Amino acid sequence: MSQWISIYSFPLSKDLGALARFIQRYQLPLRITEEKNQQLLLCPDAGLAEMLKPLLQRWDSGELDLDQVQMQRIEDGVPVSEATQVSAATTDSQAGATEDNPDKKNSDAVSVLPSFPLDKTPISLLLIALCFFGWFLQVNNLSSGLLIYPDQSGAHPFSQSSLAWHLEQGQWWRLFTPAIVHFSLPHALFNALGIWILGRPIEARSGSVVFILLVLLCALASNLAQYFWQSGVKFGGMSGVVYALVGFALVLQRFQPLWRDIPAGIPAVALVWLLLCALGIVTLLTGVGVANAAHIGGLLSGLVIALVYCALGGARRFAPT
């Protein structure tokens, strides 16, 4: 893991809004933190730090506007000479790295996704394992005890529904366990990947207790949304939970703009996929049914829970350190 070093310090009274926007715009591996009554800008790469220092000094003195600064790649070792531009390889953390020195570039690259100790994300790892365990149960016809039986007809009161029957039998776990069952290996793989990318950063920051409550509440919400939308269809999968994590991340990124454990583009791609599924395009192209209500229910529940969490001060846990 890279050692974070201090590039520049600012007084507490300095408004770093423009700097925050600059960092977000170019997805720079930088963090802002407060220590000893000052604001520090941290970077994991000494070369990038040296390159940015002159820019920061000029901005701090009021000589230039960071909102007007543009970054571009160094080509053939020739830096850009214009005063309001900074030459940098935005996909390489090492400033001045060229094709003539690929080993240096590869060794100093900063990972897009952060790594976390496995003991900080036990629930996420369990959910990933459950994706594949649920697929194993399904292909071996062992998953019926985890699913909500489909209703043959929706023209009866809830008291006569299959879900009501499950609850009368004390089978309350069926409210949650459809999220475990996956009907294909690709579905299990995609959801496991979603948990790895979205779940681990959220669990590592919020803690496993908060994370498991988030997962349980959103699994409940997404399963009920899908059942009441299409009670006559058998459904399963952890996509509703994944979309709850998308909603949770979207809210957190508004409360903590410098939190970059989850790249901003990932929730955006997930929302585009949600739209394609809801419009029926995915089903039309693949012939595979999609639990759209579970996706939407999970997303909305994640948004609501995140708003409550942040309103209670939980967003502080996601401040860059």
- Closest Cα to residue 135, out of 227, 236, 212? 236
Catalytic residue among 182, 231, 295, 301: 295
- Is residue 239 flagged as an active site residue? yes
Residue 70: what are its φ and ψ, rounded to 5°? -125, 140
Catalytic residue among 161, 231, 239, 301: 239
- Is residue 295 flagged as an active site residue? yes
Rounded Cα distance between 108 and 92, Å, is 8
Residues annotated as catalytic are 239, 295
